[in-house]
């Protein structure tokens, strides 16, 4: 059975009912597979998001690349396939700005330039990064068809809380002498336990739940996400890592990095 497409106007109404504020900063993580079918496809969803924030609002999406062995070209490099089709369409639209470094976000609206102004952030989600600027500007985080395991703002919280783990990654940047490789340590792991943040937000009434298109939607303020995550990290700095007996290779690598 095919579900009926949700119209752009209806999606805008769903976003407003969920609590998306006109004139604000809205950071969106999306799995379009969960949202569809909707009028206009991924572009229709973006139109509804833009209508919900209005002309004074700023829409933001992750837009980083999956290439770490070549310099980033913000005008040509597709967004990491993990970010989904909506993110990869968004940065190509008229009026959308994109970071000039490989940990890119894309944004459209009055705050877009300020959100994307920081130089290459290392690790990628420090306070002086797009996700940090969304937090500074008291933006909202919207998860469409994805859970908090896709919520990059929690990596910002880990860095604010100075988590002890960090695995080695590298990125390649253009330099006068040709492409240059930069190694860095990132608070990386499987991220599945980030789902706990949704429970903590619900327990405090800091998260709205609804539907956008056909997808389950979660909405919270960036500052609320960071607040509940940093509080939990203060009690247990490893709260987001799977226990050794869970057999998660990525979280085991993060644990092993603590002594390194
Ligand atoms: Zn894990």
Q: CB–CB of 99/116 below 8 Å? A: yes
Tally of domains in the chain = 1
pTM metric for this prediction: 0.96
Q: What is the predicted pLDDT for the residue at 67?
A: 86
Domain membership of residue 98 (yes or no) is yes
Question: Where do we find the tokens 């940990």?
Answer: 103
C-alpha 59 – ligand 1 centre gap (Å)? 30
User: Considering the domain boundaries, does residue 3 fall inside one?
Assistant: no
Extract the tokens encoding 44.
Answer: 């229709």
Instruction: Please indicate, yes or no, if residue 89 is contained in any of the structural domains.
Output: yes
Share of the chain above pLDDT 70, in %: 99
pLDDT exceeds 70 at position 48: yes
Residue 1 forms part of a structural domain: no
DSSP state of 36: -
User: Has residue 2 been placed in a domain?
Assistant: no
- The pLDDT of residue 245: 96
Q: Is residue 131 part of a domain?
A: yes
Tens-place pLDDT, residues 241-256: 999 999 999 999 999 9
Q: How confident is the model at residue 2 (pLDDT cuts 50, 70, 90)?
A: low
pLDDT cut 90: percent of the chain above it:
95
CA of 192 to the centre of ligand 1 (A): 6
Q: How far is the CA of 254 from the centre of ligand 1 (A)?
A: 9
Q: What is the DSSP letter of 7?
A: P
Spell out where 24-79 has E strands.
25-30, 58-62
Looking at the predicted structure, is the pLDDT value of residue 1 above 80?
no
- Six-digit token pair at 257? 């990095």
Backbone dihedral angles phi then psi of residue 100, each to the nearest 5 degrees: -95, 15
232 Cα to the center of ligand 1, angstroms: 17
**How remote is the CA of residue 197 from the centroid of ligand 1, in Å?**
15
Residue pair 58/107 in contact by the 8 Å Cβ criterion: yes
Calculate how far, in angstroms, residue 195's C-alpha sits from the geometric centre of ligand 1: 11
Side by side, the strands of the sheet bearing 208-212 are: 97-98, 105-108, 58-62, 25-30, 140-144, 215-221, 208-212
Q: Tell how far the Cα of 175 is from the centroid of ligand 1, in angstroms.
A: 36
From ligand 1's centre to the CA of 111, what distance in Å? 35
What is the distance between the alpha carbons of residues 215 and 230, in angstroms, rounded to a whole number? 28
Reduce the DSSP state of residue 1 to 3 states and report it: coil
CA–centroid distance, 65 to ligand 1, in Å, is 23
| Cα–ligand 1 centroid distance for 244 (angstroms) | 9
What pLDDT sits at residue 3? 82
Residue 173 lies in a domain: yes
pLDDT digit string, tens, across residues 87-127: 999 999 999 999 999 999 999 999 999 999 999 999 999 99
Q: Ligand 1 centre from 252 Cα, in Å?
A: 7
Containing structural domain, residue 64: 8-256
Report the separation in Å between the CA atom of 241 and the middle of ligand 1, taken as the mean of its atom positions: 6
139: tokens are 């933006």
On average, the pLDDT of the chain sits at 96
Q: Is residue 218 assigned to a domain?
A: yes
Q: Is 93 exposed, middle or buried (0-12, 13-18, 19+ CB in 10 A)?
A: middle
Would you state the pLDDT for residue 117?
A: 97
Tokens of 70: 């070549």
pLDDT for the residue numbered 144: 98
CA 48 to ligand 1 center in whole angstroms: 34
Q: Using DSSP bridges, classify how beta strands 58-62 and 105-108 pair: parallel, antiparallel or unpaired.
A: antiparallel
pLDDT band at 259 (very low <50, low <70, confident <90, very high): confident
Query: Does 72 have pLDDT greater than 90?
Result: yes
**pLDDT tens digits, one per residue of 10-31:** 999 999 999 999 999 999 999 9
């Amino acid at each position: 059975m095919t579900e009926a497409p949700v119209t752009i106007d209806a999606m805008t109404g769903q976003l407003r009912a969920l609590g998306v504020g006109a004139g604000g900063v809205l950071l969106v993580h999306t799995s379009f597979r969960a949202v569809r079918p909707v009028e206009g496809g991924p572009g229709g969803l973006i139109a509804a998001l833009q209508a919900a924030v209005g002309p004074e609002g700023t829409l933001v999406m992750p837009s980083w690349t999956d290439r770490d062995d070549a310099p980033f070209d913000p005008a040509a490099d597709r967004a990491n396939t993990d970010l989904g089709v909506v993110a990869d369409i968004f940065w190509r639209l008229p009026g959308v700005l994109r970071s000039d470094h490989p940990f890119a976000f894309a944004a459209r609206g009055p705050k877009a330039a300020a959100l994307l102004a920081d130089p290459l952030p290392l690790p990628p989600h420090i306070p002086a990064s797009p996700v940090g600027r969304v937090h500074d500007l008291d933006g909202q985080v919207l998860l469409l068809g994805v859970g908090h395991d896709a919520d990059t703002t929690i990596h910002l919280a880990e860095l604010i809380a100075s988590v002890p783990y960090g695995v080695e990654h590298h990125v390649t940047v253009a330099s006068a002498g040709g492409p240059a490789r930069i190694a860095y340590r990132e608070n990386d792991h499987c991220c599945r336990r980030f789902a706990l943040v949704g429970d903590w937000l619900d327990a405090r009434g800091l998260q709205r739940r609804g539907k956008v298109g056909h997808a389950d939607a979660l909405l919270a303020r960036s500052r609320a996400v960071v607040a509940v995550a940093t509080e939990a990290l203060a009690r247990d700095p490893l709260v987001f890592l799977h226990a050794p007996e869970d057999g998660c290779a990525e979280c085991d690598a993060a644990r092993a990095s603590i002594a390194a």
